[in-house]
Structure 1
């Protein structure tokens, strides 16, 4: 089963949330529908600005932990290297 690491943000692109899942489309729909975790609801994190695909979920969860330990500047550099316009990438999963 594939695994995904993803980064969500708010409309103004000021807050980041890093997560990992086996079903990215379903997972990303939760905050859009207002059913996400407390943190994603509180900060209106509905925009997928970065993701990585892995062969399995254990690799994805390992990468999630790694990214969570990164400095904020490093996270932004990673995001901007693949998504310089900070577009919502949810349509990649339609």
Structure 2
């Protein structure tokens, strides 16, 4: 089975604090963030809502995309989220369903 990697954005709420990461297991990583076992940043700022995710077959491409998105202006990140998730829904519930 092919490994899939994800670049993801978590938010504390609509237009709230954002966190961008990369993982090989999106459901597990989001679960870690939700239980405050993820990055200390997400724990400190309550950033647990999965609002954007992009899938990649190549880990190098995923890492490059994560680094690029992290350098983006905040407005660009907000626009990216709004394009795919205008309601800022928590996409976590859709991962295992």
Scaled to the shorter chain, the TM-score interval is over 0.9
Compared with structure 1, are the counterparts of its residues 11 and 75 closer, same or farther at alpha carbon in structure 2 (3 Å cutoff)? closer
Query: Where in structure 2 are there 5+ consecutive unaligned residues?
Result: none
What is residue 32 of structure 2 aligned with on the other side?
Answer: 30
State TM-score, norm by structure 2. Answer: 0.91
Q: Deviations over 1:65-87 (max 9, x none)?
A: 01011100011011100000000
Q: Paired residues, what number?
A: 94
Query: Where in structure 1 are there 5+ consecutive unaligned residues?
Result: none
Q: Distance in 2 between matches of 1:12 and 1:44?
A: 13
Structure 1 counterpart SS, 2:32:
helix
What are the within-5 Å matches in structure 2 for residues 78-93 of structure 1? 78-93=80-95
State TM-score, norm by structure 1. Answer: 0.94
What is residue 7 of structure 2 aligned with on the other side?
Answer: 5
What are the within-5 Å matches in structure 2 for residues 1-94 of structure 1? 1-11=3-13, 13-94=15-96
| Structure 1 runs, 4 residues or longer, greater than 3 Å off | none
What RMSD, in angstroms, separates the aligned Cα atoms of the two structures?
1.1
